[in-house]
Structure 1
Amino acid sequence: MKLYLTLLCLVNVGALNALSVCSGPLPNVLNAGITDESKKDEYKDGAIIYFACNFGHVPAGKISYVCEKAKWVIIRRGKCSPKPCELPDETAHGHYTIHDGEDFVFGASIKYTCNNGYQMVSQTDTRTCMLDGWSNHLPICEVVSCVPEATDGRVIVSGLPDDDTPIQFGHELKFNCPKPEHQLKGNPQVVCAAEGKWNNPFPTCEDVTCNVLEHSDVNVKGVPENNDTMKYGHRLQFECRDPKHILHGEAEVVCSKNGQWSHPFPLCNERKDFCGPPPTLLNGDTVGAKEQYRNGESVDYICQQFYTPKDLSHKTCVNGIWKGEVTCLKPCTVNEQLMAEQNIKFAWWTPDPNKIYCKHLDHVTFACTEGKRQTKDSVAFRQQCVDGIMHLPRCQ
């Protein structure tokens, strides 16, 4: 007798259906989103979804996933990249930098800046990479211009254009006061700087005024009683308070340019009947000098060989002070090496053809060496010595 065993298997159909559904979050694709056609409430095993690039991005291959055993498995691994823009145009007298973003792609923006001395005349200085290229017009940079400031009638301005031409960046104006009784207060020149502003305020011409200096041992005539300002041309006179003293310096001074007196204020010293040894003379010597001289006595000077005295050749003792200006003017040296460098020689009619030294105001005549001619920019062949300086002609 045979026995049969029957097994009954109860299958949970709902559980099987749950295992074949992708119920988790959809794949996250950079710069892309699931297409409308792929959107469903439920994705069963084998379901395929497709992705499209976001606005402003372009695809590089298709992107798709399949639901497999309740998981999303990639089928095609494309990608979406921001749409690129062409290199932006350069603007004259300016430059651009990336303002937002890292490359010239959709959404990135650039900012234009004008070079130094130029200013932006466009309302917008930025451009953004859009689907159809760069937004806005190319910004324009124009040279900066400055407007002259008003001046009074005392100031003379040099450098202003003759017409209404704008004064551009870098242009310089110069100022001066033509009348000696006025002095310039401020910078004598200004320059049109960046942003259309002058680098310094315009100067003015102010009245020249002088102040009274210290004068403890002298009486001064001409100082205003009400302490009014002493202007250009004002004169002061001096005399010693002690009649036994001697005034050393100028008895009258004048208020001159730049608020300076024409001479230092004088001093008063006691009368002296004697002077000490005479002062030494550069390039000269005294003749028979003594240790002491009375008022009115003089000492003679002689210049060294080839040096020439200018005007006076003596000094005089006046109230204990040596008066008189003695100067020895320098000779000129003309040697063979200097003449060889210039391709010149002494002319045959020179009194001394071997002359090397010549005194102040002496004349020397030169000539070209054989085979040479005087250059166009050369000085004349006949030259004069003036206090140690003589210009030499040149031949080549």
Structure 2
Amino acid sequence: MVIICEFPSSKSPLGSCEEPPPRRVKEVPTERWEQPPYPHGTRVTYKCRPGYIKLGRIVFECVDGTWKQQLPVTECRNKPCGHPGDTEFGFFELTSGSEFVFGARVEYRCNEGYRMLSQRNYRECQADGWSNDIPHCEVAKCPPVQAPENGRIIMTGAFELGREYSFGQLINFECNEKYQLVGSKELICSSDGKWNTDVPQCQEIICFPPRIPNGNFRPQEDNYREGDTITVQCNPGYRFKTLTAENTAECTKNGWVPDPGCVQKPCDYPVIENGKLSRSLEYGKDRYFPMSLGQHATYMCNYGYSTPSGSPQVHMVCSERGWLPQPKCLKKCQNIHLDNGYFPLERKTFRLQEKVTYTCHTGFVTPEGQETGEVQCQKSGWTPPPKCISE
């Protein structure tokens, strides 16, 4: 640009400008002005600093000792750089300024699972356009993985051992026979290029001796390997936890199968010789039995038999040892008519094993020659049979 300087005539009475033309942020005079004062009417033309552009002329004039901008008033504006450019697998945001003009700065970010490949993750709008190339993003990579000892890697699709894996890929592991996986069976390549967890281990399947309350087992060993079996013996009142033909458990990768435990044995329907349960239990035995610990049942004896206590009915409870008291119906002996003698007790019946003394009338004695005899109630009746014979 050309500086146009217009000097007034020496006859002008107006004052001169004692200072150089004003300094501005975006503009600079086209020539050097370092020898004030400048006469009234002196004009200075400005140009834009690097990075700025203008529309029209910017002129200041010395008017009676003061520099004033001439109309139309205009100034330099930030030079536009245009769109900074998109990056594949990423995005950018404006971090300085509000437009894509000189002085603006944009920073690039990569999508999840991708990482910045370029050294600079930004571009700046400079006087000659955008700085550096558009940053690039590449998919995150996870390092190669070695199969665990006594195990192997399982992966869908074709893959090569010892290669890198991309974000989102996963690999599975499994162990050889008689070994079990300790840790996660699956690894996933994370967005940060690291595996989400450590590689699992394959350990020999070992079962330790089980703790069996209310029971025991054999054989007794320090530890057991897969396929080994034990036999469980439960205490009285308890049974093997799982209803199987044999009380055995096998060592597997999931531990002992089935669980070698002993549980309280339920009380089954009791078969009572010469007796029966209450009517409701007899008719509903398929529904009520087996009974659990603490449940009750009532039984009674057939004619000619008696409960051990002599009561018409007995209430029993299901306990750890089975039914208590055990249901029994004992033979009863009748108070029979005795020829030539009598029983001194006025009872009609006598319990099993009960002993009774009888007396013979005058002139009669027992087979042993005594006036009195003793007999006992047994299953076959009175033993020995009571008898009074003539002396």
- Classify the TM-score, shorter chain: 0.5 to 0.7
CA contact (8 A) 1:118 1:194 kept: yes
Change (3 A) 1:279 1:177: farther
Distance 2:139 2:269 in 1: 76
Distance 2:199 2:151 in 1: 10
CA contact (8 A) 1:187 1:200 kept: yes
Aligned to 1:109: 105
Distance 2:13 2:185 in 1: 94
Among 192, 200, 210, the alignment partner of 1:195 is 192
Cα shift at 1:42:
1.4
1:221 aligns with 2:218: yes
Counterpart residue identity of residue 70, structure 1 = G
Change (3 A) 1:84 1:177: same
Among 44, 56, 73, the alignment partner of 2:39 is 44
Aligned to 1:177: 175
Deviation sequence 1:168-200 (CA, Å, 0-9, x none) = 221121222342x32222222222121221222
Change (3 A) 1:201 1:246: closer
Cα shift at 1:211:
4.4
Cα shift at 1:85:
0.8
Aligned to 1:237: 231
Among 129, 134, 138, the alignment partner of 1:138 is 134
Secondary structure class of the residue paired with 1:23: coil
| Higher radius of gyration, 1 or 2 | 2
1:98 aligns with 2:120: no
Distance 1:279 1:273 in 2: 9
Aligned to 1:383: none
Counterpart residue identity of residue 78, structure 2 = P
Change (3 A) 1:269 1:84: closer
Counterpart residue identity of residue 21, structure 1 = S
What pairs up with 1:1-396 in 2 under 5 angstroms?
20-23=15-18, 26-27=21-22, 29-76=24-71, 77-159=73-155, 161-163=158-160, 166-179=164-177, 181-224=178-221, 228-240=222-234, 247-249=239-241, 250-267=246-263, 274=270, 278-280=285-287
Distance 1:88 1:133 in 2: 9
Distance 2:63 2:268 in 1: 129
Change (3 A) 1:39 1:254: same
CA contact (8 A) 2:234 2:240 kept: no
CA contact (8 A) 2:86 2:92 kept: yes
RMSD between aligned residues: 3.6
Question: For structure 2, which runs of at least 5 residues remain unmatched after alignment?
Answer: 1-10, 272-276, 289-296, 300-320, 324-391
Change (3 A) 1:89 1:55: same
Distance 1:99 1:174 in 2: 43
CA contact (8 A) 2:20 2:35 kept: no
Distance 2:49 2:64 in 1: 29
Cα shift at 1:80:
0.6
Count of aligned positions: 267
Counterpart residue identity of residue 218, structure 1 = G
Distance 2:234 2:81 in 1: 92
Cα shift at 1:116:
1.3
Counterpart residue identity of residue 53, structure 2 = V
CA contact (8 A) 1:50 1:64 kept: yes
Aligned to 1:370: none
User: Percent identity among equivalent residues?
Assistant: 27
Distance 2:55 2:256 in 1: 85
CA contact (8 A) 1:218 1:268 kept: no
CA contact (8 A) 1:232 1:255 kept: yes
